[in-house]
């Protein structure tokens, strides 16, 4: 039995295979730096290939860190080991005379608390359970001992300042609940050995992985804040709510207030804290539609709501306000301190996602549905610059259509900046089962259009090197956080239907990109608005390459040509599992206004060979910088 199994002797470290631990996989070992990565919430850096999706996690499941990291290295992790052939793990931790727990336990009789020995066993079990891959699709979850499970424990030894090595062993008897939507659980016997002497043993220990929410852990860590520059800010800092006070009117319906805490809960919190009691069923392994989280969260509060909660009804509406910070990353990262097109689109679209959840669009469905923007047509009437105080967006639901498990909703939107018209649009969102995104056809191209992304070209510019021609002047491409292109791979100056030029650019998909972490929790996908931003940046590149602002003393880009209609259509998504995004742009019009030259384009975006976005009426104007 495990109680009489001697501690294993460390052998040479086996070769680590990719992917989650499977019953037929060979044993593995993990060095101290790998174990540290796991405890710090970097599972990919611990487990390697197969864990790429975890790079987009907000708060990966982990064990204690700092003082409470009780495992130093894992010398054996064998899925077919142990007395039952169902799994075995051995971990070691060196003991030093000055370890922190000796000082307080006991006076003049120092020894390691038996509770910490058991905690180390639970951490070893959590590590094994994570190695099975069960955390890859469970962002925000946490490990906990299973309730109502009496555990016989025996202590027959101690760890003192004279001890040198503490060994934890896990003898797996069962692993259950690995499929998505369930709560994985590990059942095992555990043994602690101190310098070769068996000191602690427990039978039938059960450890499970359960749903949790980042905001539950972070909301008390500090006051609300924003990311001021492109330098990353820890998510737990951005999620702070300590000391928050509402300074403006907030909508209240049936006693539930829709202020900033509820808005932030829409992104990273318990669903019932975002929308009330009707969403309690989602305080579980279920996954509701989410708002983006910081730094891509642009809703400060709902100030007025029309229509009852949790009732899908046309005519329902919401008025949402967003307090524009004086210093914020998108002003600093843009080539000129004005709100970028992609951010402005996101500001006016997020209220639609909120309203769809407020009316309970998906509450009647047993299966979880994904929420996506499908298309839109809008006209931008101004721009947002530092000093703008409040953006107020009114969103009204004008139509609901059902097609099997899919729900299609149309919204009419009007946005004001400090009372002045900023953006009007009509947009369509949809709720879809996850399988609807498998094997998507996207926007089917013609044979000639399909060849375009691979058309040979000798023109190539590495934008990650930030060449001065495109990044050094007053009109320039944005900083690294906002830049959505890695390289321009083609420019044909006389191509296109108007003979004004055609361009192509690419971006390598990095699962650790900030926007995957922000959009959405447990459903990472690149915002479609940033796909439009990529097209806009390629249009900026065109303007710089052609020298369109050469006649201006201090040229700058305006986000769009005011008053021009912009349309977009999305028929696919970019996720952390994609490898490459390709952007095509065709210039359809150029000219002059009283303020300066302009250019208009039509754009397409491809993800790994599938065309998924189309944008028409994309425009910019170069004008004199008057700051």
Catalytic residues: 519
CA distance 501 to 496: 6
Q: What are the tokens at 86?
A: 């169902």
CA distance 436 to 417: 37
CA distance 234 to 223: 14
CA 436, distance to chain mean position in Å, is 21
CA distance 124 to 122: 5
Determine phi and psi for 490, rounding to 5 degrees: -170, 140
Q: Which residue has the tokens 């099997």?
A: 404
Burial status of residue 572 (CB atoms within 10 A of its CB: 0-12, 13-18, 19 or more): buried
Q: What are the tokens at 307?
A: 């229509």
| 492 strand-pairing partners | 502
CA distance 202 to 189: 6
CA distance 408 to 395: 16
CA 158, distance to chain mean position in Å, is 44
DSSP letter assigned to residue 285:
S
Q: What are the tokens at 361?
A: 């669009």
Q: What is the per-residue DSSP string for 299-310?
A: --EEEEEES-TT
Q: What are the tokens at 530?
A: 């940033």
CA distance 183 to 181: 7
Determine phi and psi for 286, rounding to 5 degrees: -70, 155
Q: What are the tokens at 114?
A: 């038996």
Q: CA 19, 25, 29: angle at the middle one, nearest 5?
A: 80
Specify the 3-state DSSP secondary structure of 617.
strand
DSSP letter assigned to residue 386:
B
Of 19, 147, 151, 122, the closest CA to residue 61 belongs to 122
Q: What are the tokens at 420?
A: 């002045």
Q: How many CB atoms lie within 10 A of CB 495?
A: 17
Burial status of residue 330 (CB atoms within 10 A of its CB: 0-12, 13-18, 19 or more): buried
Determine phi and psi for 369, rounding to 5 degrees: -120, 145
Specify the 3-state DSSP secondary structure of 413.
strand
Q: Which residue has the tokens 């095992």?
A: 188
The answer to whether 271 and 310 are in contact (CB under 8 A) is no
Close Cβ partners of 354 (under 8 Å, ≥ 6 residues apart)? 263, 266, 291, 299, 302, 318, 320
Of 295, 307, 349, 361, the closest CA to residue 515 belongs to 295
Of 4, 188, 177, the closest CA to residue 91 belongs to 188
């Amino acid at each position: 039995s495990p109680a009489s199994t001697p501690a294993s002797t460390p052998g040479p470290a086996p070769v680590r295979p990719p992917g989650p631990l499977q019953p037929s996989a060979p044993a593995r070992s993990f060095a101290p730096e790998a174990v540290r990565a796991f405890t710090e919430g970097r599972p990919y850096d611990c487990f390697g290939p197969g864990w790429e999706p975890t790079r987009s996690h907000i708060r990966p499941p982990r064990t204690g860190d700092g003082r409470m990291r009780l495992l130093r290295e894992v010398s054996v992790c064998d899925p077919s080991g142990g007395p039952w052939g169902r799994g075995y793990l051995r971990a070691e931790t060196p003991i030093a005379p000055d370890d922190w727990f000796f000082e307080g336990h006991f006076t003049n009789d120092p020894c390691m608390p038996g509770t910490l020995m058991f905690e180390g066993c639970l951490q070893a079990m959590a590590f094994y359970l994570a190695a099975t891959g069960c955390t890859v699709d469970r962002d925000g979850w946490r490990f906990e001992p299973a309730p109502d499970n009496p555990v016989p424990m025996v202590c027959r030894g101690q760890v003192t300042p004279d001890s040198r090595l503490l060994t934890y062993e896990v003898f797996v008897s069962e692993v259950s609940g690995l499929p998505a939507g369930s709560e994985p659980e590990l059942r095992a016997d555990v043994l602690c050995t101190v310098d070769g002497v068996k000191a602690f043993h427990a039978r039938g220990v059960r450890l499970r992985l359960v749903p949790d929410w980042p905001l539950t852990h972070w909301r008390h860590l500090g006051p609300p804040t924003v990311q001021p520059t492109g330098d990353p800010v820890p998510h737990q800092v951005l999620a702070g709510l300590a000391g928050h006070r509402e300074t403006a009117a907030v909508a209240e319906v049936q006693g539930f207030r829709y202020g900033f805490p509820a808005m932030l809960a829409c992104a990273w919190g318990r669903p019932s804290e975002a929308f009330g009691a009707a969403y309690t069923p989602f305080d579980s392994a279920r996954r509701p539609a989410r708002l983006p989280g910081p730094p891509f969260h642009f809703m400060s509060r709902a100030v007025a709501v029309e229509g009852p909660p949790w009732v899908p009804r046309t005519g329902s509406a919401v008025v949402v306000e967003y307090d524009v910070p004086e210093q914020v990353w998108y002003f600093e990262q843009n080539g000129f301190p004005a709100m970028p097109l992609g951010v402005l689109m996101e500001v006016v679209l997020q209220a639609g996602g909120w309203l769809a959840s407020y009316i309970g669009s998906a509450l009647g469905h047993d299966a979880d549905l994904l929420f996506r923007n499908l298309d839109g047509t809008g006209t931008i009437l101004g721009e947002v610059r530092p000093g703008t105080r409040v953006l107020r967006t009114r969103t009204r639901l004008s139509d609901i259509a059902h097609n099997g498990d899919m729900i299609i909703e149309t919204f009419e939107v009007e946005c004001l900046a400090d009372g002045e018209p900023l953006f009007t649009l009509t947009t369509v969102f949809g709720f879809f089962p996850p399988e609807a995104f498998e094997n998507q056809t996207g926007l089917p191209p013609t044979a000639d259009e399909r060849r375009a992304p691979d058309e040979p070209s000798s023109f190539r510019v590495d934008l990650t090197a930030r060449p001065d021609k495109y990044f050094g002047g007053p009109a320039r491409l944005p900083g690294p956080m906002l830049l959505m292109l890695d390289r321009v791979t083609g420019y044909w100056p006389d191509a296109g239907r108007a003979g004004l030029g055609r361009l192509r650019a690419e971006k390598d998909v990095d699962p650790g990109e900030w926007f995957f972490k922000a959009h959405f929790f447990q459903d990472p996908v690149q915002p479609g608005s940033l796909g439009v931003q990529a097209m806009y940046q390629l249009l900026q590149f065109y303007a710089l390459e052609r020298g369109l602002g050469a006649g201006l003393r201090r040229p700058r880009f305006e986000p769009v040509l005011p008053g021009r209609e912009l349309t977009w259509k999305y028929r696919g998504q970019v996720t952390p599992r994609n490898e490459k995004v390709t952007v095509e742009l065709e210039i359809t019009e150029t000219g002059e206004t009283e303020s300066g030259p302009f250019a208009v384009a039509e754009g397409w975006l491809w993800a790994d060979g599938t065309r998924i976005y189309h944008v028409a009426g994309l425009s910019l104007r170069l004008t004199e910088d008057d700051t």
